[in-house]
């Protein structure tokens, strides 16, 4: 894991640049805008406190939102996941996915309509639902209020996983993904859902075959201060910062 943020290298920028064709700003450097967004993701600084070496924060935020709404970050992340799988001598598309969720507290001034209370974990905030491959690379991301059950929030992951259905045959999760989620995955997509159970004799965290990778992926996010809490006013921005964190992680591997 990178210990200190550094701007994109030429090789890293080459991977991203091809996805941003037609989005070049008239006055600001597109590369510097992406550098600024990744720097902010890593350091957790407020938009208005963006370092002066980068373009004005208003311009950076404009393109952050524009590319979020147009799905550009989704495209970049998907491309990087495929590249990293190939680099690891895997096929570009996975055959198995692991799903889980993480409840996080929210910052100030967040719309109460997008916030809930996770009674089990006693967290008032939002819930991050993710699906990852056997390497821990993200295949799908969804954000809900924290009071949304894992199986309900996981439904949104299913249609996102359609993009990887070339080889996908199995989804692994805990018992929360039984019932409706399991039935929908089978009936609508033909995917088997394996809901593993922790041995009753074990206490605390127990790594489970096929599922521990998703826990590790959540652990990677701890290196990004912007994700220490959910500071975003919208669920779209919250999802985007998760994508940006994973983009940073993979970029430092493939280029």
In angstroms and rounded to an integer, the radius of gyration of the C-alpha atoms of the chain is 18
pLDDT for residue 89: 96
Q: With CA atoms as reference, report the closest residue to 219 among 201, 245, 189.
A: 245
The per-residue pLDDT for 209 is 66
**128 forms bridges with which residues in the sheet?**
102, 143
For β-strands 116-118 and 96-105, DSSP reports them as unpaired
- When the candidates are 2.60.40, 3.30.390, 1.10.357, 3.30.420, the CATH number that belongs to 97-233 is 3.30.420
Q: Are the beta carbons of 162 and 89 closer than 8 angstroms?
A: no
Residue ranges, the chain, pLDDT below 50: 205
Please give the C-alpha separations between residue 172 and each of 15, 112, 211, 224, in angstroms, as whole numbers. Answer: 31, 32, 6, 26
How many Å apart are CA 43 and CA 138, to the nearest integer?
Answer: 21
The tokens 């600024």 sit on which residue? 36
Hey, what are 241's tokens? 């910062």
What is the per-residue pLDDT for 238?
A: 96
- Indicate the pTM of the whole model: 0.92
The confidence score (pLDDT) of residue 202 equals: 54
- What is the pLDDT at residue 197? 63
Write down the pLDDT at residue 205. Answer: 47
Listed in sequence order, the residues at least 6 apart from 160 whose beta carbon sits closer than 8 Å to its beta carbon are: 131, 139, 140, 141, 142
Paired sense of beta strands 96-105 and 170-173, if any? parallel
pLDDT at 185: 96
What does the alpha-carbon distance between residue 137 and residue 254 come to, in Å, rounded to a whole number?
Answer: 13
The domain segmentation of the chain, as residue ranges, is 97-233
């Amino acid at each position: 894991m990178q210990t200190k943020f550094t701007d994109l290298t030429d090789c890293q920028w080459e991977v991203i640049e091809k996805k941003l064709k037609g989005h070049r700003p008239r006055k600001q450097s597109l590369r510097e805008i992406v550098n600024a967004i990744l720097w902010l993701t890593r350091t957790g600084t407020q938009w208005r406190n963006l370092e002066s070496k980068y373009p004005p924060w208003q311009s950076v935020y404009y393109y952050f939102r524009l590319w979020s709404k147009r799905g550009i970050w989704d495209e970049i992340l998907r491309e990087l996941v495929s590249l990293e799988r190939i680099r690891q001598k895997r096929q570009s598309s996975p055959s198995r996915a692991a799903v889980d969720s993480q409840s996080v507290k929210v910052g100030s001034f967040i719309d109460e309509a997008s916030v809930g209370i996770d009674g089990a974990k006693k967290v008032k905030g939002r819930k991050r639902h993710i699906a990852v491959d056997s390497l821990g690379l993200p295949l799908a991301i969804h954000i809900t209020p924290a009071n949304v059950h894992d199986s309900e929030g996981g439904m949104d992951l299913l249609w996102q996983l359609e993009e990887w259905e070339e080889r996908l045959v199995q989804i692994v999760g805990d018992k929360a993904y039984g019932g409706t989620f399991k039935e929908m995955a089978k009936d609508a997509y033909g995917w088997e859902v394996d809901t593993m159970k922790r041995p009753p004799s074990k206490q605390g965290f127990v790594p489970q075959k096929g599922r521990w990778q998703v826990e590790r992926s959540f652990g990677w996010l701890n290196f990004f201060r912007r994700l220490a809490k959910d500071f975003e006013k919208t669920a779209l921005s919250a999802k985007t910062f998760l994508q940006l964190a994973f983009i940073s992680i993979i970029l430092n591997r493939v280029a």
